[in-house]
Amino acid sequence: MPEALDRAVVALANFSTRLRRTRCRPEEVLVLFASCLQRSDCDRRLDEDLTNCARCGRCAVAAFLDLSEKYGVRVYRATGGRRAAARARAPAIKAIVAVACRKELREGVFACLPKAVLARTIAWPCGPCKDTTVEMDRVEEAVRWLLR
């Protein structure tokens, strides 16, 4: 699927969530982020428990944990589309802040329907799927908007 279409789906999801004016309690917000945001040379096993992160600050995982503590939202490192979608579809979750590449975001938006999704795109300074980065202030802005 052309990148322009991925871009359009992401923009539409963000627009429609803003239009619906979804508001949540902290525990109803799930921040889902792509596993490639963890440093590729980090040996911490985060699959079962994000708190295994030593919070050295070399990648965004520590910042996601900070975000969870600051606002009380749930955070989850997505290791596969199916698992991530199952988390997002849990009845306790009302809205999702999804942090991934545009292709994954496009697939995730459809998988999460009809829930509200605010999508944030990651950057690829080292090429696709390796040591990716994200502007955490934009992720925080999405969380704050849902909790306003």
By CB under 6 A, name the binding residues for ligand SF4.
Answer: 38-39, 42, 44, 53-59, 61-62
Beta carbon of residue 72, minimum distance to ligand SF4 (angstroms, whole number): 21
Across 27-61, b (16+ Cβ under 10 Å) vs e yields ebbbbbbbbbbbbeeeebeeeeebeebeeeeebbb
Beta carbon of residue 66, minimum distance to ligand SF4 (angstroms, whole number): 10
The amino acid present at 51, given as its one-letter code, is T
Helix 3-20 / helix 102-112 crossing angle, nearest 10 deg: 50
Residue with Cβ nearer ligand SF4 (38 or 132): 38
Residue with Cβ nearer ligand SF4 (7 or 44): 44
Q: Report the run of H or E that residue 103 belongs to, with start and end.
A: helix 102-112
Residue with Cβ nearer ligand SF4 (3 or 47): 47
Beta carbon of residue 76, minimum distance to ligand SF4 (angstroms, whole number): 14
Beta carbon of residue 20, minimum distance to ligand SF4 (angstroms, whole number): 33
Distance of CA 40 to CAs 47, 71, 107, 126, Å?
14, 28, 24, 11
Residue with Cβ nearer ligand SF4 (100 or 111): 100
